[in-house]
Structure 1
């Protein structure tokens, strides 16, 4: 029996970024200046789904920002610092009841 050789040029990442680390590339590529409102941030970034755990579960940026209960951020660091505990809560809770039910379904 032969073993297939490893694929060259594999597009799979070596690691999966989640939480605020997954949001950072969006911020780097966006035409966004601070101070910025939550609406401006969502529009500039396109409301991406932000993975909050290593399993790839994600939450929309707009939903995470709604949980922050702030409408404006003076700096990018302030935004990331505010989102960190929200994304951690999603990670620790498994995303809530809907995500847990979806995980139980076979499709």
Structure 2
């Protein structure tokens, strides 16, 4: 028990451990704000989706259908050029568009819609 008490006392009075505790507490308090900024920077849909104007839905659906109809022959032809089965081209064509939905932004277009 004497050794445990000595180690506990050393940890309480050690400058390095106290500094680590202070920095960790400060980082933990800043975590929600930092997480918010990081999320808004990396996933822009989180910032603009709550402010989305429903008048734009028709134009956005038309744009999405146009993209989908464009991707079908494009992915088929790219798969043929790569000499892989066309099913793989179709399966891989939806992923980039889906990722761009969540992680992409067109900052110049935001001003046109406001």
| TM-score in terms of structure 2 length | 0.29
- RCO greater where, 1 or 2, for CA within 8 Å and sep 6 or more? 1
**Which structure: greater helix fraction?**
2
Which of these two proteins has the greater Rg computed from alpha carbons?
2
* Greater fraction strand: 1
TM-score of the aligned structures, taking structure 1 as reference length: 0.30
